[in-house]
Amino acid sequence: MSQTHEAKVLKLQAQLADIFKESRAVRFKRSSTNSTRQRVAGGNAAEIDLTDLNEIVGLDSAARYIDIEPGVPMDALIAATLQANLMPLVVPEFPGITAGGAVQGGALESSSFKYGQLNDTVLEYEMLLGDGTRIVATPDNEYADLFHGIATSHGSLSLVTRIRLKLEPATKYVALDIRPYGSAAAVTEAIQTHTKENAVDFIEGLLFSETLGAVITGRLTDKAEHPIRRFGRNIDPWYHRYMHQTAAEGGKSITVPLVDYLFRYDKGAFWMGEHLFPLFGVKSNPVTRFFLAPISRTRKLYDGLHAMNVQHEYVVQDFYMDWNDAARIVNYNASGPKIYPVWMCPIKSVTTPQKLSSHYRDGEEMLLNVGIYGQPATGNAVNDTINLEKLILNLPSRKMLYAQTFYSQEDFWTKYDQDWYSGLRTKYKAAPFRELWSKIHTPNSAFKSRRVRGFIQVAVEALWGKNVVWGRK
């Protein structure tokens, strides 16, 4: 194991041990976030700096795994694995998403119908418990309950210091087939059919309106079987716009370089970047998208979201739905918010005891993630989000917890096993770590926009290349 990694972990162990002895809470300083929840100050909690926990620890190409620290972002992970002609089985679509955030936040992607969430491809975790004890958890050792419990725990059970991820052979390209459909029901049915055929490596759907959608399937390949289309450069089209136009024109097949496909939604953060242009008083077109490229990629858009604190003006939610219930989300959106596109991504469920995960079920089945991201026509994003939460409250379906969450504590624990969770916290001395509901719950006090100041900050940082510091409150 890397000596540098070892030194980092020993330092963190000592810090946690001291904090535990003092019966204090802890908050972690990280370099970035891909959560849309408001950042909340930690009171007098002790702060531990994790910003340097972001290195590749080792890669075993023969055994096909990589050891990484939790702060490693997806683009650095891909760069490292591609040197060995390997890749992770599930790659979250934003290059700045960190490995630790992805496994503890329950990240999925278009390969999830085969592999589940990214945490389902983890072989082992190195973790520090609340008292500083260092353990290695695997699916079949004495810490198996924590190995599974860490999924979607959002840092409330332990401090992950190393992740061992399973890898598979990489290819140069992804061959995409884009097919249009005339309704949400037709898109859903086509996606479900593809999940049963086992003939592709990636599946996703996009709804552009009530009457037009597309199902996009992909296959890993080393051969450019169709015209090559790129999405990663500033001069390239935004992925969702290209797919909309292609669906309207009847569909086609294209070949996309692997990295361009994996991070196809980086420009515009799916389509949330479309809300950037009115701030500049311009319309979104190829010219303005090119010139605003420095601040239209996900890292800067997330910085802007938090700097301006305007999360409450948008619905940004993912719902893991049973197939028969998916129409409830789609129909609610069509009747009120009218947010388009809508993302659809199939994911297989798990029965292992990761009881906080959105795809945890009693039996194995295929689920459909429905992603609603945008500014609602109703003008009340908070109300729409609350209505969507109520819609699934009494269903087996669950939402992802990276997003704003308005469930009361009582309602929240009707959907999750509180006794199981509390048992894990007690067993593994997690008292210093903030409890899950209090961490993910969005209080009304969070709705205080800093639109002008935040906009200036992000624009200056993107164009100047240096961070703007406003001073501490």
* Residue-level pLDDT at 403: 87
> Which residue type does 144 have?
A
* Residue-level pLDDT at 262: 98
For 41, which DSSP code?
Answer: -
* Residue-level pLDDT at 449: 60
pTM, two decimal places: 0.91
* 99-149 pLDDT per residue, tens: 999 999 999 999 999 999 999 999 999 999 999 999 999 999 999 999 999
3-state secondary structure of 300: helix
Task: Give the chain's radius of gyration (CA, Å).
Answer: 21
- What's the number of CA atoms in the CB half-sphere (13 Å) around residue 128? 25
Burial class (CB in 10 A: 0-12, 13-18, 19+), 322: middle
Question: Do the beta carbons of residue 152 and residue 101 sit within 8 Å?
Answer: no
* Residue-level pLDDT at 34: 46
Residue of 216, 199, 214 lying closest to 114 (CA atoms): 199
Q: From CA 400, how far away is CA 356, in angstroms rounded?
A: 10
Structure tokens at 94: 């934003």
* Residue-level pLDDT at 366: 96
The total of other beta-carbon atoms located within 10 Å of residue 347's CB is 27
**Strand (E) or helix (H) holding 197:** helix 184-197
* Residue-level pLDDT at 390: 96
Domains recognised in the chain with CATH numbers: 3-169 (3.30.465.10), 271-309+443-473 (no CATH)
Which residues lie closer than 8 Å to 168 by C-beta, 6 or more apart? Answer: 64, 86, 87, 88, 89
* Residue-level pLDDT at 245: 98
Which residues lie closer than 8 Å to 41 by C-beta, 6 or more apart? Answer: none
Question: Do the beta carbons of residue 114 and residue 65 sit within 8 Å?
Answer: no
Residue ranges for the chain with pLDDT beneath 50: 34-37, 39, 41, 467-473
* Residue-level pLDDT at 35: 44
Helix H, strand E, coil C: the string for 341-377 is CEEEEEEECECCCCCCCCCECCCCCEEEEEEEEECCC
Q: From CA 468, how far away is CA 253, in angstroms rounded?
A: 44
Report the length, in residues, of the chain. 473
* Residue-level pLDDT at 282: 78
Question: Do the beta carbons of residue 337 and residue 411 sit within 8 Å?
Answer: no
* Residue-level pLDDT at 472: 37
Structure tokens at 39: 């950042």
